[in-house]
Amino acid sequence: MDNYKFIISGGGTGGHIYPAIAIANELKRRFKDAEFLFVGAKDKMEMEKVPQAGYKIEGLWISGLQRKLTFKNLMFPIKLIKSLLRARNIVKKFQPDIAIGTGGFASGPLLKMVAISKVPYVLQEQNSFAGVTNKLLAGKAEKICVAYDGMEQFFPKERTIKTGNPVRTDLVHMKTDQNEALDFFGLSNNNPTVLVLGGSLGARRINQLIEKELPFFKEMGLQLLWQCGKLYYDDYKKYDTENVKVKAFLNKMDFAYSASDFVISRAGAGSVSELCLVGKPTVFIPSPNVAEDHQTKNAKALVNKQAALMLKEKNLDREFQKVFADLVNSKEKQNSISINIKKLALPKATERIVDEIEKIIKNKNTVISEMV
């Protein structure tokens, strides 16, 4: 039997959505006749990204709590009740064999109703500091798949397994030649290349830093592949030149990573996992504006193993030039970071997560067969 029904929830940011899609793709590869249904938040990016990946999605009227008293927070109880009722109807109608949650507030109401319906579920936690939703849902999860050591501080030890984070398959098998990648972006093979990543929407503070330091990069003989984000492209496209390529978004990330010699990046869980696979010397600039400051914790997990460098936003003006120049001028430091970051890569994460899901549904069917 491979006509299982999988219901998958996770969203709000790409860090929750892309792992969910990667897991669905691997399940689809193994179970050709399976049915899939995603559940997300109505006004978030999953409502666009999931259909683009070829899957159906239902939306809940839900949002996260704000850090200060706002009208949205006053609406939260109403949204939660409506989302729970809608989630109950979705589960009742779809009748899944198993559910998978990859974090984000939309997965809360859905997995609560999944648990009430006695449907097993698996959680996937991307960050080194667990999100609120996953912590609340962990009690009844069959398995919690994590990407970092020490996650037993958040989850039941006996049900927590380190699998790593799902990443794009083109990065697992990355074979693009650097010269080919540089040519693709119109860059020279005579100068070292710095890849700047601020996430799909962009990072204002990183963009401000790069704008300010353009003369420094030129003086160092470096060229830039700068993903400034679609929110900021109109502000920074004026800097696009022969040695500075400004992009709203990078669709071919395997080419972008192959072209680079150094990376400056936010420290979202997905980016960290990808960069471990890629193995390029990386300077993380974590966003201080995310829940539980988890990007700083993600970056520190690598810094503590001499696998990356980290600069806090508040220290950029004072420290950036020295830290980055020291890295560019030291082949020994570059090689050491590359070796150490590659040691942390978990390229088979998606397969290992799906292995756990497969065990649960097959065990469930065995129990049902024995009861009959």
Put residue 306 in one of left, alpha, beta given phi > 0 → left and psi -120 to 50 → alpha: left
200 is in an annotated binding site: yes
Torsion of Cα atoms, 306 then 348 then 101 then 284, to 10°: 20
Q: Which helix (H) or strand (E) holds 300?
A: helix 294-303
Contact predicate 10/101, CB 8 Å: yes
Q: Identify the bridge partners of residue 263 per DSSP, sorted by sequence position.
A: 195, 282
Put residue 150 in one of left, alpha, beta given phi > 0 → left and psi -120 to 50 → alpha: left
DSSP-assigned states of every residue in 198-232: --SS--HHHHHHHHHHHHHHHHTT-EEEEE--TTT
What whole-number distance in Å separates Cα of residue 142 and Cα of residue 265?
34
What whole-number distance in Å separates Cα of residue 256 and Cα of residue 342?
18
59 is in an annotated binding site: no
64 is in an annotated binding site: no
13 is in an annotated binding site: yes
Q: Identify the bridge partners of residue 146 per DSSP, sorted by sequence position.
A: 125, 162
Contact predicate 353/163, CB 8 Å: yes
103 is in an annotated binding site: no
Contact predicate 44/106, CB 8 Å: yes
Around Cβ 333, how many Cβ atoms within 10 Å? 15
Contact predicate 295/286, CB 8 Å: yes
Q: Could you write out the three-class secondary structure of 57-125? A: EEEECCCCCCCCCCHHHHHHHHHHHHHHHHHHHHHHHHCCCEEEECCCCCHHHHHHHHHHCCCCEEEEE
Torsion of Cα atoms, 85 then 89 then 94 then 100, to 10°: 10
Residue indicated by tokens 């949002």: 63
Contact predicate 179/286, CB 8 Å: no
14 is in an annotated binding site: yes
- Binding-site residues, please? 13-15, 127, 168, 200, 295
- Binding-site residues for UDP-N-acetyl-alpha-D-glucosamine, please? 13-15, 127, 168, 200, 295
